[in-house]
Structure 1
Amino acid sequence: MAAESAENVVSPTAAAAGETAPPAADTPASAAPRDTAQPPTAEKKVPPKKEKPPAVEAKPFTDFIQQDYLPALTQALVEKGVTDLHVDLERSKIAIKGFESEPECSQVIGRWNGGDRQFNVYFFDDSLQGQRAISCVDGGNKASTLESFLIDERKITLDLLVSGVVLRLNSQKWLLRN
């Protein structure tokens, strides 16, 4: 301990005057105090985030069906070769045996081929996220089967609703022949 370096020794008179030893030569320059009066010159400017417009599915149910779903569904079916297509949104009872006592629900009803072919997409809760079903009828008969429709999907989108109907009608062999 007797051998102290000259750098670390402060004379008693300098200590009494409040003086300190100069910084060591091996102290990095970054440890020196910064002048806070000047802002950093290389500041990154982050542009404000653009807000996404609300999804069409966020519209009220009836508006979405009338303004977006029906035109998109009609266009998709016409592109698949369906002629004389008429698609509407109606609120009525389910026209399947055994469902006569059930309350009315919103239905997208599509008819073509002179009314011989018909499909119904049922929205039981008047909501895209609620329960849905579909039925298909040929020859002007009354539907006998009600099938669940897009039940495993977490988020229902316009494209999903349109493709679901197109796939189901294609499974009926109403759109494309094998």
Structure 2
Amino acid sequence: MSETQEPVTAAEPKAEPKAAKKPKKEAIEDKPFGEFVHDHFLPALAKAFAEREYQDLELSFANNQLTGKWDDGQKQFTLYFPDGDIQGRKAFSESTNGVPASTIEPFLIDERKVSLDLLVFGVIQRINAQKWFGRN
């Protein structure tokens, strides 16, 4: 019987261990819903209104609904989060002169990933569409 020899190859150098990756900073949108709304969304929305010189904005958040009132309560909007999640379903309503909202509309339904900036932009855009910013 003849013996077969396997080709001899040089040992491959061992790969050096990669430096440990820094833990990825948690996105603020990944925080618990209530914490996100109270710590980030409400202040960002108040700032956006202040930049448009509306200082009397009153924001409240309860039962997964964010309500904003200004102009001595004459203008109001409500942003609904029925799933208790910014990535879930959202709806929007607005009203004037203390009259209850007659229509609740879907809000940001085509967005795959909702961010803080997008939520603020969406609210400002909806209110601007009502011509509630500035003089008409």
Range class of TM-score, shorter chain: 0.7 to 0.9
Q: What is the number of residues matched between the two proteins?
A: 128
Structure-1 separation of matches of 2:9 and 2:95: 82
Please identify the structure whose Cα radius of gyration is greater.
1
Report percent identity of matched pairs.
45
1:149 aligns with 2:107: yes
Structure-2 separation of matches of 1:55 and 1:33: 48
Structure-2 separation of matches of 1:120 and 1:113: 15
Could you list the runs of 5+ residues in structure 1 that have no partner in the other structure?
1-31, 92-105
| TM superposition shift of 1:59 | 1.3
Structure-2 separation of matches of 1:33 and 1:172: 75
5 Å-filtered alignment, 1:64-79, equals 64-79=36-51
Structure-1 separation of matches of 2:35 and 2:9: 63
1:113 aligns with 2:65: no
Aligned 8 A contact 1:83 1:113 in 2: no
**Secondary structure at the counterpart of residue 77 of structure 1:** helix
String of CA shifts for 1:3-39, please: whole Å, max 9, x gaps. xxxxxxxxxxxxxxxxxxxxxxxxxxxxx975x6xx7
Structure-1 separation of matches of 2:38 and 2:17: 44
Structure-2 separation of matches of 1:44 and 1:175: 60
Structure-2 separation of matches of 1:66 and 1:153: 22
5 Å-filtered alignment, 1:96-175, equals 106-175=64-133
Kindly report structure 1 stretches of 4+ aligned residues shifted beyond 2 Å. 43-51
Q: Which amino acid aligns with 2:28?
A: V
Aligned 8 A contact 1:137 1:143 in 2: yes
What's the Cα RMSD here? 2.1
1:48 aligns with 2:20: yes
String of CA shifts for 1:120-154, please: whole Å, max 9, x gaps. 00011111122110011111211111111000011
5 Å-filtered alignment, 1:15-54, equals 46-54=18-26
5 Å-filtered alignment, 1:7-22, equals none
Q: Which amino acid aligns with 1:127?
A: D
- The structure-2 alpha-carbon separation of the partners of 1:55 and 1:33, relative to structure 1 and needing over 3 Å to count, comes to closer
Counterpart position of 1:24: none
Structure-2 separation of matches of 1:75 and 1:52: 28
- The structure-2 alpha-carbon separation of the partners of 1:33 and 1:89, relative to structure 1 and needing over 3 Å to count, comes to closer
Structure-2 separation of matches of 1:146 and 1:33: 72
Aligned 8 A contact 1:89 1:107 in 2: yes
Q: TM-score, normalised by structure 1?
A: 0.65
